Amino acid sequence: MRFQDAARDARAVVYAGIQADPLVARLAALLAAATPAERWMARAAMNGERTDAEIWRRMFPALFGEGPSAELRDHAERLLAASLDVANRGEQARSSYRGAVVEELTAQLLARRSGVVKRERRVLFDGVPAEIHPYDVTVESTTRPEVYDCKWGARGINADVLNQLDDARAHAADEEIEITVALVVFDARRSAEIRLDRSSAPRDGTRLVALENIDELGVTRP
């Protein structure tokens, strides 16, 4: 088994430009340090119809009201501003930005415990045709590699994603390598489990990381 950079088609080149936008890294860093309530606020604002910050402050009094500390309010303000910056990009662009943010957040959290975090990588196995789609984030440990597919919402979970993750796990097992395969979903665990419950694709060996427990990526393998 080995990792390889994915070949870039025109769409991937455009997406790489979004991934490289400093806004993505800044927003991911803010989310990495955020509370669950702040993450819900960011998710809502990035999904929102309105981009007036005052509306979002009223919607989240626990973050912007009298109760929270000045430090939390300041962090929430910076997160809201960055989230609305994404929301202002227009429907098509914001969708790409949201995906890139979840990938970058995953990579930043994983980097807390591993120095070999990479992006857009294929995993090659002996005698097995390479998958078309690369994995969003990988931890390329020689002893215990990890591959992650990242989704903005639970609706992005589908059979293709689950099959690809399970194939990686199975092929690695054929080579006697224990690989961690996981879905990272910036959405409620409950929503993701509801989505998974209706899928017939194999998922017993695939871990689920949701908005509520995403911090754990930086501490231990899921």
Partner 1 sequence: MNDRAELVEDAAAAYRALADLAETIEDEWQYVTDLTDAYLPAIEALAGIVAPLPAGAGDAVDEAIAEIGLITDPHRAIDWLSTYPHVVALALGGDVDGGSDR
- In the complex, the residues that contact partner 1 under the rule CB under 8 A are 35-37, 40-41, 43-44, 47-50, 55-56, 58-62, 65-67, 153-155, 187-191, 194-195, 197-198, 211-212
Q: Could you tell me the smallest distance in angstroms from the CB atom of residue 186 to partner 1?
A: 10
Q: Which is nearer to partner 1, 4 or 158 (CB)?
A: 158
CB of 92 to partner 1, least distance (A): 12
Spatial distance between the Cα atoms of 89 and 84, rounded to a whole number of angstroms = 9
Alpha-carbon distance of 84 to 76, in angstroms, equals 12
Q: Least distance (Å) from partner 1 to the CB of residue 61?
A: 3
Q: Give whichever of 149 and 187 is closer to partner 1, judged by the CB atom.
A: 187
Tell me whether residue 33 or residue 55 sits nearer to partner 1 (CB atom): 55
Residue 116, CB half-sphere, CA atoms under 13 Å: how many? 11
- Closest approach, Cβ 213 to partner 1, in A, equals 9
Residue 8 or residue 190: which is nearer to partner 1 going by CB?
190
Q: Is 127 left (phi over 0), alpha (psi -120 to 50) or beta?
A: left
Q: Tell me phi and psi for residue 163, to 5 degrees.
A: -65, -40
C-alpha distances in angstroms, 193 versus 64, 92, 196? 31, 27, 5
